[in-house]
Structure 1
Amino acid sequence: MFAYSICWPRRAMLAGLVVLGTPALALAEAPEFFTQSSANLLWTLIAAILVMFMQAGFAMVEAGFTRAKNAGNIIMKNLLDFAAGSPAYFLVGFALMFGADAAGVFGTSGFALAGLDTTTPEGQWGLTFWFFQSVFAATSATIVSGALAERTQFRTYIVSSLVISALIYPISGHWAWGNLWLGDEGAGWLAQMGFIDFAGSSVVHSLGGWIALAGALVLGPRIGKYGPDGKARAIPGHSIPLAGLGVFILWFGWFGFNPGSTTAATGDIGFIAVTTSLAACAGTLGAMIMAWMRFGKPDTSMTLNGTLAGLVAITAGCAEVSPMGALAIGAIAGLVVVPSIEFIDKTLKIDDPVGASSVHGLCGTLGTILVGFFAAPGFGSNTGLLYGGGAGLLLTQITGALAIAAWGFGCGFILFKVLDALMGLRVSAEEELKGLDITEHGMEGYNGFQIFANE
């Protein structure tokens, strides 16, 4: 049985472990923490399992929005984001993210998770917390997959996913969340400023979205995407129902993503579920209305992306805004995501097959900033500009959101340029036309339905 003790929700400071003992492969002397209750451990584990299931949602969305000849490749990339990224985060990333702070930039110490004594409540909570954080790391990495779909070498993609999980995500994650494990000893520079990103609009989603944009820029568009006149051509996905199933799975998993970020079985989890779901509903409606106005029809793919846009945008402030504020944030994200997808596709001429850059990059940044307006007294511990809280919080949110966006895009651009030079990033034109299922994996996603033409 676990000993019950006082613990605080994540918005104040995450309660952690007591003394970890002497791990066999410790990266540094184990710090001292508080004991978690069995209820908190169970809730955190259930939430982590829900977030892990989001990998299936991402896989379905990306596969549905792309062509049948690449469906198996999409599944493999999403599978490897978790299967390869989790060990990388276990061995390297966790210490960089949650170790003792070095000048506010990254963690310099940690402990070897493999050395924890699982016969103690402390060791059991330590591994549970790592598992919860590992599924967030996998989410950030897998966002990149969709933007690079249908033309990326599989081996190179695996290396990029490892680097994101081991280095890029943990370092910027430390800036905002390092204090969740060691308290003030681990606080990065954004946490010290009072930056709010409760469940990761910027730490997870925006970072992945901006890396995705950089990767798509370096990679170049798919064959046939832009005509001789430079105009964008639609390359329809092979299964909108599959993409829709993926969105429903992601919406379901988000109830682990946001309420689970309390890492405590408190009354807040119900309230956070409400703000999360209302924002998703508003994002859906906003995108549907915008698409209807722009295209004359309520486009299904844009509406599905609107649902995700609302979810991404509310993730930063889900514990700080009122239900009405959640509706407003979701609606804004839904209205913005449609023209954003068009702008990146038609004006910037960056080929992002699933709209990941807009849904996760732009809407993650936007949702983080909107906390500075909509943080409501009586719901969270902060007050936004619209409630008389002044501009201080808003400026902090802008600073943090833009810093993580710049880090993601900059690191992503350098990463994919280096990988392109060392390994090659893109498959050959012949391989792209045949489809990556055949050329990269030697099989068909849909046996007997392989298409060898691009037009």
Structure 2
Amino acid sequence: MAAETCSAVALAPLLGGNSTAAAQYLCNQFEAVSLQLTDAKSAIDSTYLLFSAYLVFAMQLGFAMLCAGSVRAKNTMNIMLTNVLDAAAGGLFYYLFGFAFAFGAPSNPFIGRHFFGLKEIPKIGFDYSYFLYQWAFAIAAAGITSGSIAERTQFVAYLIYSSFLTGFVYPIVSHWIWSTDGWASASRSAPHGLLFGSGVIDFAGSGVVHLVGGIAGLWGALIEGPRIGRFDHAGRAITLRGHSATLVVLGTFLLWFGWYGFNPGSFITILNSYGPIGSINGQWSAVGRTAVTTTLAGCSAALTTLFGKRLQTGHWNVTDVCNGLLGGFAAITSGCSVVDPWAAVICGFVAAWVLIGFNKLAEIFKYDDPLEAAQLHGGCGAWGIIFTALFAREKYVNEVYPGREGRPYGLFMGGGGRLLAAHVLQIVVIIGWVSCTMGPLFYGLNKMKLLRISTEDEMAGMDLTRHGGFAYAYHDEDSSGHGGGPGLMLKNVRVEPGPTPTTPSSGQT
């Protein structure tokens, strides 16, 4: 690059006299500085991506806490172990197959075919930091599914579905949308045409991650059926409350924190200027805007859920608010980089009602999802895809996805309906793909009696029957004696949590 901008032949006359050697020396120095700046940019971008990967990985702890708090105490150890195994099994299978299927370039529009076991890595555009970031996304999709089938699923089924989802199902979808070779990618390399002239703008994965995980969980929960006691003999919904609102809130805040790696981190790089040198118009500013839109969507959804559920139930419920907050995040994930902050508020507001509506439908159809994962990630993720097609701003679209003149943008922003058509097709194809892969997998596991645990094990709790004991064991000192005065005799009493009694949901007698 420096050789093109610094020519010793052109520079020598400016130095006067016989100064060819001096001009060549200066050009060599300029080239050395240019290469050092290039290395510095690569280091800054790589550090940014690694930090984002760490944030996204921290979401696994958020998922674990959220799941643990949302289930009954007798299944705490089971759900925590499944979250650990999602990361571990997902890491191995994404390393062996998933990353290659997702980003193995050059490839065809359907599936990647290079980088198995990270062979040929690192290379330009594909360093180890990029693999780590994409792995963190893959295990997030698996974590979503684990919540839908909690409290009644055999442990071996978790291992099988998690490996299959992270090693094959999810990578194919991410190849379609995020690889430069993918048939629906908004960054598809020339001279290939873009889907409806726009491609799919799913920046951080409302469809790729959340819709995939939500639909996979939907099929798992449908095939397994509801937990024992979730619906009474008359078909009325019975609330099976999670055992710790504290863990739910802790998990929610950890997920909120991790989302700042999930959405802004999806730029992959940060040191990229959009305008004249020295201006604030660069990718670093877009990263900040993306963090703001993410925040506002979650806040809007949380407040909408707070008052919406208050009108429905008469209570201020912290668990509902946490789920609403996460629904807003799942929705804004698609368009976080290409919409204005005011539009993000609308996104979160609608996402809250989408979640409330899908939860109501789940009760009507006797669908049981302990974490509302299919409703939250599937329903709100689908809304986020539509939202992006309505509110994507032309300026931001051209900055984030440069190089294509006349690219369509949001319908409500004057950009026509081609982006909306691409996004509707994305929703249909993802639902179809996940249904055709994960549906038969869960059905086969169920037929082989590898999916659901026995009635006796479910009533007793999987911690006791499958994992050697409860997650919580208390050793309290209890007094015995006369009058409760000094000199009390002390004895140890071991207290184990028993089955949590079911209570009617609001409005039931």
TM-score, normalised to structure 2's length? 0.78
CA contact (8 A) 1:374 1:384 kept: yes
What is the deviation of 1:107?
1.5
1:276-287 counterparts in 2 under 5 A? 276-287=294-305
Residue matched to 2:498:
451
- Of 214, 227, 237, the residue aligned with 1:209 is 214
1:335-374 counterparts in 2 under 5 A? 335-344=353-362, 346-374=363-391
What is the deviation of 1:423?
5.0
Note the alpha carbon deviations across 1:113-134, whole angstroms, 9 max, x for none. Answer: 15646xxxx4896111000000
What is the deviation of 1:295?
1.4
- Of 195, 198, 223, the residue aligned with 2:228 is 223
1:140-151 counterparts in 2 under 5 A? 140-151=141-152
Q: What is the SS of the residue equivalent to 2:189? A: helix
Q: Equivalents in 1 of 2:500, 2:418: separation in Å?
A: 55
Residue matched to 1:327:
345
Q: Equivalents in 2 of 1:128, 1:301: separation in Å?
A: 35
Comparing 86-95 with 441-450, which one deviates more in the overlay? 441-450
Q: Percent identity?
A: 39
CA contact (8 A) 2:147 2:369 kept: yes
- Of 61, 70, 75, the residue aligned with 1:70 is 75
Amino acid at match of 2:180: N
Comparing 185-194 with 360-369, which one deviates more in the overlay? 185-194
Comparing 405-414 with 209-218, which one deviates more in the overlay? 405-414
1:178-257 counterparts in 2 under 5 A? 178-179=179-180, 184=189, 194-257=199-262
CA contact (8 A) 1:313 1:368 kept: yes
For the structure 1 residues 384 and 167, does the alpha-carbon distance in structure 2 shift closer, same or farther, using more than 3 Å as the test? Answer: same
Structure 1, unmatched stretches of 5+, are 4-33
Amino acid at match of 1:353: P
Amino acid at match of 1:87: L
What is the deviation of 1:379?
3.1
For the structure 1 residues 388 and 188, does the alpha-carbon distance in structure 2 shift closer, same or farther, using more than 3 Å as the test? Answer: closer
Q: What is the SS of the residue equivalent to 2:210? A: helix
CA contact (8 A) 2:115 2:121 kept: no
Q: What is the SS of the residue equivalent to 2:226? A: coil
For the structure 1 residues 413 and 163, does the alpha-carbon distance in structure 2 shift closer, same or farther, using more than 3 Å as the test? Answer: same
Amino acid at match of 1:208: G
For the structure 1 residues 128 and 171, does the alpha-carbon distance in structure 2 shift closer, same or farther, using more than 3 Å as the test? Answer: same
Amino acid at match of 2:179: G
For the structure 1 residues 242 and 101, does the alpha-carbon distance in structure 2 shift closer, same or farther, using more than 3 Å as the test? Answer: same
Residue matched to 2:412:
386
What is the deviation of 1:427?
0.6
Q: Which structure would you say has the larger Rg?
A: 2
Q: Equivalents in 1 of 2:93, 2:195: separation in Å?
A: 24
Q: Equivalents in 2 of 1:42, 1:109: separation in Å?
A: 25
Q: In the alignment, does 2:428 pair up with 1:402?
A: yes
Residue matched to 1:10:
none
Q: Equivalents in 2 of 1:321, 1:249: separation in Å?
A: 25
For the structure 1 residues 186 and 78, does the alpha-carbon distance in structure 2 shift closer, same or farther, using more than 3 Å as the test? Answer: farther
What is the deviation of 1:397?
1.0
Q: In the alignment, does 2:157 pair up with 1:156?
A: yes
Q: Equivalents in 2 of 1:188, 1:249: separation in Å?
A: 40
Residue matched to 1:40:
45
Residue matched to 2:85:
80
Q: In the alignment, does 2:458 pair up with 1:432?
A: yes
Amino acid at match of 2:424: I
Amino acid at match of 2:301: G
For the structure 1 residues 218 and 80, does the alpha-carbon distance in structure 2 shift closer, same or farther, using more than 3 Å as the test? Answer: same
Q: What is the SS of the residue equivalent to 2:204? A: coil
Q: Equivalents in 2 of 1:86, 1:191: separation in Å?
A: 35
Q: Equivalents in 1 of 2:454, 2:140: separation in Å?
A: 28
Residue matched to 1:97:
102
What is the deviation of 1:186?
12
Q: Equivalents in 2 of 1:95, 1:169: separation in Å?
A: 12
Q: In the alignment, does 2:393 pair up with 1:376?
A: yes
Residue matched to 1:173:
174
CA contact (8 A) 2:106 2:181 kept: no
CA contact (8 A) 2:196 2:422 kept: no
What is the deviation of 1:348?
1.5
Note the alpha carbon deviations across 1:216-263, whole angstroms, 9 max, x for none. Answer: 000111111111111111101101111011111000000000000001
CA contact (8 A) 2:156 2:450 kept: no
Comparing 154-163 with 443-452, which one deviates more in the overlay? 443-452
Q: Equivalents in 2 of 1:239, 1:81: separation in Å?
A: 22
Q: What is the SS of the residue equivalent to 1:291? A: helix
Structure 2, unmatched stretches of 5+, are 3-37, 271-282, 399-407, 474-494, 503-509
For the structure 1 residues 186 and 47, does the alpha-carbon distance in structure 2 shift closer, same or farther, using more than 3 Å as the test? Answer: farther
Q: Equivalents in 1 of 2:151, 2:426: separation in Å?
A: 33
CA contact (8 A) 1:199 1:315 kept: yes
Amino acid at match of 2:140: T
Residue matched to 2:136:
135
What is the deviation of 1:428?
0.5
Q: In the alignment, does 2:325 pair up with 1:307?
A: yes
Amino acid at match of 2:461: G
For the structure 1 residues 282 and 139, does the alpha-carbon distance in structure 2 shift closer, same or farther, using more than 3 Å as the test? Answer: same
CA contact (8 A) 2:300 2:348 kept: yes
For the structure 1 residues 67 and 441, does the alpha-carbon distance in structure 2 shift closer, same or farther, using more than 3 Å as the test? Answer: same
CA contact (8 A) 1:175 1:188 kept: no
For the structure 1 residues 189 and 235, does the alpha-carbon distance in structure 2 shift closer, same or farther, using more than 3 Å as the test? Answer: farther
Q: Equivalents in 1 of 2:195, 2:171: separation in Å?
A: 14
Amino acid at match of 2:128: L
CA contact (8 A) 2:410 2:416 kept: yes
Q: Equivalents in 2 of 1:310, 1:453: separation in Å?
A: 31
Comparing 388-397 with 403-412, which one deviates more in the overlay? 403-412
Residue matched to 1:24:
none
Comparing 146-155 with 412-421, which one deviates more in the overlay? 412-421
Q: Equivalents in 2 of 1:428, 1:85: separation in Å?
A: 27
Q: Equivalents in 2 of 1:302, 1:187: separation in Å?
A: 45
TM-score, normalised to structure 1's length? 0.87
Amino acid at match of 1:369: I
- Of 110, 118, 121, the residue aligned with 1:113 is 118
Q: What is the SS of the residue equivalent to 1:231? A: coil
